[in-house]
Amino acid sequence: MKGFRGGFSRLKFRRNFGGYTIIEVMIFLSVTAVLFTSTIFVYQGVKNQNQFSQDVQNTASKIQSYINDVGNSLSPYGSENKCTVSGSTGRPVVDPSGGIPQTDPPCIFVGRALHLNAQGGSGLYAYAIFGDRLVQSGPNAGLPISSLNEANIDPIFPAQGSSVDLSSHFLTPATLLIKSSKVTYTSDGPSQQTPSHNASLIGFYNDFSSTNNVSVTAMAYNCGATTACGPISAGVRDCIEQKPPDCASPQPIIKWQTCFANNFNNQTALLSVNISISISNQLDFVSC
């Protein structure tokens, strides 16, 4: 009877799973579940890395296209708009044309200012910068402008006084976090390879100087140092107009670096925009 009871016990705790006990089947299923979960986790990680890489490249391409617009003088100004020079400020103002095309407008497209919303973490704003076609006052009044200062430049958006908004907003994807934006000033010299000055607002302008070989120059604005400088705001306008206290003397730059971080892991990428005879960018997936 003792042997029979042992046999009965084995019958009681064994089920017909191809010769495996319930415990063995449970262990197998648990290991399979762990492996499946690990595979999904690894796949999601690789997917996030690939998406981050693509999103950074798309953002870098967008920045380069905005800069190219300046060098090629591709203005966002269309026939549906008309430009006038404000009698009070001497700066350009853009309003709807009412369907009447404007010939020989008194203002011109001079460049773009790129604003990285580093405080909010996402968003690239490109402001269309216009200036006067002719010098407004002084001994050269009535002559074509020959410098950026003579142009009385202004961004064209409602906070500036225009009723037309010619700015563009490129919403950086959810994977991207703008970690930092730094520049190297021309005065720092080309030997300073690593930018050290914080700057989230960078202006790219046509060079009106006949003595310079470059077609586009760049300068950094200390926007937001002491006053608010949100997207499409009076703070941005004041900086472009070079008003104190933050932007009275914007500095020309030779390099602009932006560090992007992956929102889902510790991956980072560094975008470097180099300003010399031509403007080019370089993208490196390195720690920054």
Residue with tokens 């003579």, as numbered in its chain: 150
Domain membership flag for residue 96: yes
Whole-model pTM: value is: 0.80
Q: Of residues 258 and 123, which shows the higher confidence score?
A: 258
User: What per-residue confidence (pLDDT) applies to 6?
Assistant: 47
Distance CA 24, CA 15 (A): 11
Domain membership flag for residue 141: yes
Question: Pick from 171, 149, 109: which is nearest to 240 by CA?
Answer: 149
Q: Of residues 75 and 151, which shows the higher confidence score?
A: 151
Q: What whole-number percentage of the chain has pLDDT above 70? A: 86
Domain membership flag for residue 139: yes
Domain membership flag for residue 225: yes
Domain membership flag for residue 216: yes
Residue 11 banded pLDDT, cuts 50, 70, 90: very low
Q: What whole-number percentage of the chain has pLDDT above 90? A: 34
Cα-only R_g, the chain: 30
What's the whole-number mean pLDDT along residues 165-176? 83
> How many CA atoms lie less than 13 Å away from 62 in the CB half-sphere?
19
Domain membership flag for residue 239: yes
| Residue 130 pLDDT > 80 | yes
User: What per-residue confidence (pLDDT) applies to 225?
Assistant: 77
Number of domains in the chain: 1
Distance CA 220, CA 188 (A): 13
Domain membership flag for residue 34: no
| Residue 3 pLDDT > 60 | no
Residue 212 banded pLDDT, cuts 50, 70, 90: low
What's the whole-number mean pLDDT along residues 116-135? 80
Residue 149 banded pLDDT, cuts 50, 70, 90: confident
> Domain range holding 138?
41-284
Mean residue pLDDT of the chain comes to 82
User: What per-residue confidence (pLDDT) applies to 76?
Assistant: 84
> For 13-33, what is each residue's pLDDT tens digit?
455 545 678 887 788 778 887
Q: Of residues 221 and 1, which shows the higher confidence score?
A: 221
| Residue 173 pLDDT > 80 | no
What's the whole-number mean pLDDT along residues 91-108? 84
CA dihedral 249, 250, 251, 254 (to 10 degrees): -170
Residue 111 banded pLDDT, cuts 50, 70, 90: very high
Domain membership flag for residue 77: yes
What's the whole-number mean pLDDT along residues 108-116? 93
> Which residues, in sequence order, are CB contacts of 263 under 8 Å at separation 6+?
174, 175, 176, 177
